[in-house]
Amino acid sequence: MSEESFDAIIVGAGLAGCVAAYVLAKEGADVLVIERGNYAGSKNMTGGRLYAHSLEKIIPGFAKEAPIERKVTKEKVTFLTDDTGVTLDYHNGRDQTAVEESYTLLRGDFDQWLMGKAEEVGAQFITGIRVEEILTQDGKVIGVKADGDELTAKSVILAEGVNPVLGEQLGMVKRVKSDAMAVGAKELIELPQKVIQDRFNLNDDEGCAWLFAGSPANGLMGGGFIYTNKSSVSLGIVCGLHDIGSSDKTVPQMLEDFKNHAMIKPLIEGGKLIEYSGHVVPEAGIHMVPKLVDDGVLITGDAAGFCLNIGYTVRGMDLAIASGEAAAKAVLAAREKNDFSAQGLSSYQTLLEDSFIMKDLKLYKELPKFMENPRIFNEYPKMVADIMQSMFTVDGTPSQPIRKTLMKHCKEVGYMNLIKDGIKGVTSI
């Protein structure tokens, strides 16, 4: 067993882990981060958009020095069927404050930068080593076992991401069920900067965040996404894990079909595939939040289920950053009292309750259930496309009042379904 005892050992150099390390080390705490990947970000995946607010409060002006790709000014949401697409397109040319902005980014670059910031203020990182086990004594966490070595610490922050094996080992996290998860597959496709700007109608550093419901996930819970980077686009699909067994298409096939959709193909024509990745994403919101604190240990980021899929946007990174900060602040408070028991670390829970994290998770608590409704991914995209087709087809037959056209297509889904789903949809967001 190592003689040295750190104030905190952090498992995982994702956003939650790197931020926790930065906040702790900045206040003079003795911190070690252990990351199984060969560098921070090497194992991490995201669709692509970071809402800046939580990191902006920790490192003001970070976007000026961090490797961000583009500032998102264009939002698009499309209902996609196999042969149609109906899009809501919002261009935001208004001035925004730094906390209101959002950026596209690539985790390989961004996480390494964040790890560098933590190292600058004194945090230590070991990469390429997996934490195998959490060490306990009399029911209290006292360190970790990694690569055969036992390292002791007054506290351990679990920032291990969506599959919290160590949290489970401690009995704090219940085995995650498939209906609480979605699987994502993503391609990074290289294109010249000018081509991206022309195809997505963007100026210089402007970026586009584009979500798709309907056919990308084969009509199952999930959808597709495209985020524009400087000289590449991040394109992918997400599909509910529990639905995959009943799908007649594999996830790679869904991705292939999405890329070949008539609406998507011209956007990536001539592009070069430079990266392919797959990852799981927590989808059950507050229902999957585990026990967050115990004697000598805290759980943060995706490992704590802090992720929100609101349909028109996905948020996990801003929650990972804010929860990493909260965990670090709780360790600093415990360090002052020299009490690293669950009671000594309990300010973590209070900080989370008072922050947007728990408030937003509570606000959207009904949403995961609402998203299980297959009509959202199947019948509604088709209904919207049928309405559009009727409105824009002029073939010489006498026109119908728009009211009648709308009623006809709504009837196909069922008025009661529409009313029920409408009420449920509105009350769950």
Ligand X SMILES: Cc1cc2nc3c(=O)[nH]c(=O)nc-3n(C[C@H](O)[C@H](O)[C@H](O)COP(=O)(O)OP(=O)(O)OC[C@H]3O[C@@H](n4cnc5c(N)ncnc54)[C@H](O)[C@@H]3O)c2cc1C
Point out which residues bind ligand X (CB under 6 A).
11-17, 34-37, 43-50, 130-131, 159-162, 166, 184, 186, 236, 238, 279, 281, 301-302, 307, 314-318, 320
Nearer to ligand X, 43 or 261 (CB): 43
Judged by beta carbon, residue 154 or residue 186, the one nearer ligand X is 186
Question: In terms of CB distance, is 214 or 216 closer to ligand X?
Answer: 216
CB of 402 to ligand X, least distance (A): 36
**Distance between first and last Cα of the chain:** 50
3-state secondary structure of 236: strand
| CB of 143 vs ligand X, minimal distance in Å | 13
**Amino acid in position 137:** Q
Shortest gap between Cβ of 392 and ligand X (angstroms)? Answer: 32
Q: Quick one: 160 or 379, whose CB is closer to ligand X? A: 160
- The minimum distance between CB 330 and ligand X, in angstroms, equals 16
Query: Which residue, 278 or 422, is less far from ligand X as judged by CB?
Result: 278
Q: Is 302 or 421 the residue whose CB approaches ligand X more closely?
A: 302
Three-class SS of residue 143? strand
How far out from the chain centre does Cα 115 lie?
19
3-class state of residue 403 by DSSP = helix
CB of 44 to ligand X, least distance (A): 4
Q: Which residue has the tokens 């495209």?
A: 226
Q: How far is the CB of 325 from ligand X (least distance, A)?
A: 12
Q: How far apart are CA 156 and CA 144, in angstroms?
A: 8
* Nearest Cα residue to 268 out of 187, 211, 185: 187
Sort strands 31-35 and 124-127 into parallel, antiparallel or unpaired: parallel
Q: What is the DSSP string of 360-388?
A: HHHHTTTHHHHTT-HHHHTHHHHHHHHHH
